[in-house]
Amino acid sequence: MNKYIKTDIEQGLQYLKTGIMNAFSDIESGEVNEVEFGDFIPFSLIRQCAEERGYEKLNNFLTDGWDRNCWYDVQHPNKKVQLCIESNLWYGTSKIYTI
State residue 57's pLDDT score: 92
- pLDDT of residue 68 exceeding 80, the answer is no
- pLDDT of residue 61 exceeding 80, the answer is no
- pLDDT of residue 35 exceeding 90, the answer is yes
pLDDT tier, 90 (very low <50, low <70, confident <90, very high otherwise): confident
44-65 core/surface letters (b: 16 or more CB in 10 A; e: else):
eebbebbeebebeeeeeeeeee
Per the structure, how many domains does the chain have?
Answer: 1
- What is the domain extent for residue 85? 3-98
52: domain CATH number? 3.30.160
